[in-house]
Structure 1
Amino acid sequence: MIPALMLFTFSFLMFAFSLTLVYRALTDPTTSRVLGRLGEGQPQLSTKLQGVVWLDRAFLQAGLGRPSERLGLWLALWAVVIVLAGLLGGWVFLLALVVLPPVLLKLFVSWRYHRRVRRMVEQLPVLLDHCVRSLKSGRTLADAVLTAIEASSDPLKSSISRVSRNVQLGVSLPEAVSDFAELYERDEFRMFALGLKVNHRYGGNASELLENLIVLIRERDQGARKLKAMTGETRMTALVLGLLPVFVVGFFMVTNPDYMLKMWQDGSGQRMLLTALTMQIVGSVALWRMVRSV
């Protein structure tokens, strides 16, 4: 058992080291220039972000910084913990530490992203209202948007400040807002970017456009709140169904811990518990997806 764990640890560390080398090669300026020359004239296909770039994007959306700067260190620590768990607790703990940390990290980043973006959408009408007042006082659209960004509050200010940085670097305001909208993937931000593009290309009354956008965003928010209130019973039922098995196991552990321990020490009982755990995870994910769809 121990030689196999040592071999697994060594291979895992080599894999992490190879990922670090690939990331450094892809981010090297010389490599980027060579890849750019090789890609000239080739059709540009829209591919999904993968690997370290996807991880950086997910953490940036959640406001957690860039994990790729210390990715090798975190992978090495994770491998050491996995080996210690396998040596001290057996294959069950080893499997748990291989599967649970990525799943829990994904859930935390997703929860942090959705909470942050929801707060940003709630702050967006205030920013647009500030833009409208600035436009009516005689400012240009670009000045009004940049001034509203400076006057906004976190988390919207820290996120949309990338628009100000891109404009200072020479990017047009509609393109900078489009980049921000594509990063956070929300329809409200995309509508804001589309309105700026239309006004930049065809002209028109910018203050009236932003006022209509404020009304649209608030109506969407009101509709979402009504839907959430109408589906409250369904979501509560799913929550009870998901937590009931956990409460039952906790009740047995408190009132009669020997029952669960003896079941775990038996081979068939251990398989039953692992099967129940797998079914609980699959059922919780299914209930979560069903609740997200309503």
Structure 2
Amino acid sequence: MNMPLVMLLVALLLLALSVLLVFSARKKARSEKMMGALASEKASSLQSRGALHIALLRAGIQLTSSRLMAAVLLYVLLVILLYWTLGALIALAGAGLLLFAVKVFIEVRQRRRVAKMVKQLPAFIDHIIRSLKSGRTLMEGMDQAVDSAANPLKSAFERSQRFMHRGASMEDAMDDLAGLYQIKEFQLLALAVRVNQKYGGNAVEVLSQLVSMIHERDKAARQLKAMTGETRVSALVLGLLPVSLAAYVFISSPDFFLELWHDPSGKKLLLFAFLFQVVGSLTLWRMLRSV
């Protein structure tokens, strides 16, 4: 089987996969509309959703069926273009790098969005506390806080509002929010709401303690970031040094790289060096995320 036929089969397979994703997304949308009819059910079954759908929700990316189809077709066309111009090996590497770039983009957008929501959360809870002190219920206070909040926190809680308006309980809607974003602050807020709705108690005191805890966690995170600044700079230097040296050699002596590229063994050497650079940069990035 020749390579063009293989690439054509891969393209057709990806096209079929995109069609399946479109029908799956439409089916999930219809089931979501019917989900709130029963008040005893949870607001959203995250377990039934795919990993990609959850990641897009966390990142705040609205991907319609037409956009998904266009993205898949563009991906297939780029891979075919790489194959026709640079060969099968480069096309295979490019296909993997494109998927990796999309994954990194979604993760970075997700982390930035969640970090911004955590910064907005104390003011959001303070608004609820003021509403409770003025005699309103917890749900009324949350509705007013959502109306006055800014994105991305506003859009996250508006999703919970829609679930409650469809008949879901407040604690189930907050559990769904905490389960979606998987951050400690939302989990504690969901726990406070569940305890208040089931057993009563002073919600103002619990929410005030939650605000204090969020401020303390933010202060500790900033101190840790300052203490690990030298480590971050060292990792950045280690990641950029090989790329900088390669760029300098290419600018000062381009014939050296061209001879390697036109030689079969040299081409493999360059590709392996590029692969190791990507793996090393990814490892450093993962290590920095854990600090």
Query: Is structure 2 residue 77 aligned with structure 1 residue 99?
Result: no
Instruction: Tell me the residue number matched to 1:85.
Output: 82
Q: CA deviation at 1:71?
A: 2.8
Percent of pairs with identical residues: 41
Q: 1:245 to 1:67 in 2, by over 3 A?
A: farther
SS in 2 for 1:177: helix
**Equivalent position of 1:19 in the other structure:** 17
Q: Among residues 250, 274, 278, which one is paired with 1:281 in the alignment?
A: 278
Which residue of the partner structure matches residue 263 of structure 2?
266
Using the TM superposition, name which of 160-169 and 201-210 deviates more. 160-169
Matched-pair contact (CA < 8 Å) for 2:15–2:72: no
Tell me which residue corresponds to 1:139.
Answer: 136
Preserved CA contact (<8 Å) 1:167 1:173: yes
Partner of 2:4: 6
Are the equivalent residues in 2 in contact too, given 1:16–1:72 (CA < 8 A)?
no
Give runs of aligned pairs for residues 1-294 of structure 1, distance below 5 A.
Answer: 4-23=2-21, 24=23, 27-28=26-27, 53-66=50-63, 68-294=65-291
Q: 1:91, 1:17 → 2: CA distance?
A: 20
Q: Which amino acid aligns with 1:235?
A: R
TM-score for the superposition, normalised by structure 1: 0.87
Q: Which amino acid aligns with 1:180?
A: L
Runs of 4+ in 1 over 4 A off after TM superposition: 25-29, 46-50
SS in 2 for 1:66: coil
CA contact (8 A) 1:135 1:207 kept: yes
**Is the 1:56–1:68 contact (alpha carbons within 8 Å) kept by the matching residues of 2?**
no
Shift of 1:69: 4.5
Q: CA 1:17–1:269 in structure 2 vs 1: closer, same or farther (change >3 Å)?
A: closer
Gaps of 5+ in 2: 32-44
Contact 2:46–2:179 at 8 Å: present in 1 too?
no
Partner letter of residue 177 of structure 1? Answer: M
Distance 2:196 2:203 in 1: 7
Compare 60-69 and 209-218 and name the one that shifted more.
60-69
Deviation at 1:27, TM superposition (A): 5.0
Q: Alignment partner of 2:127: what SS? A: helix
CA distance in 2, matches of 1:84, 1:21: 22
> RMSD across aligned C-alpha pairs, in angstroms?
2.3
1:259 maps to amino acid: F
Task: Tell me the SS of whatever aligns to 2:61.
Answer: coil
* Matched-pair contact (CA < 8 Å) for 2:178–2:186: yes
Conserved 8 A contact 1:242-1:287: yes
User: Contact 1:59/1:67 (CA < 8 Å) preserved in 2?
Assistant: no
Alpha-carbon separation, structure 2, partners of 1:240 and 1:258: 27
| Aligned counterparts of 2:184 and 2:79: Cα–Cα separation in 1 | 41
Counterpart of 1:42?
A: none
Superposition TM-score, scaled by structure 2 size: 0.87
Per-residue CA deviations over 1:155-214 (Å, capped at 9, x if unaligned) read: 111222111111111111111111111111111111100110011111100111100000
Amino acid at match of 2:254: P
* Conservation of the 8 A alpha-carbon contact between 2:118 and 2:185: yes
Paired residue secondary structure (2:2): helix
* CA offsets 1:39-65 (integer angstroms, 9 cap, x no match): xxxxxxx99777xx3222212211111
Distance 2:72 2:127 in 1: 45
1:92-111 Cα shifts (integer Å, max 9, x gaps): 43123211110000001100
* Structure 1 residues 48 and 95, CA gap change in structure 2 (3 angstroms): farther
Give the whole-Å Cα distance in 1 for the aligned partners of 2:89 and 2:11: 21
Please give the alpha-carbon distance, in whole angstroms, between the structure 2 residues aligned to 1:142 and 1:103.
Answer: 42
The structural deviation recorded for 1:268 is 2.2
Q: In the aligned structure 1, how far is the partner of 2:197 from the partner of 2:175?
A: 13
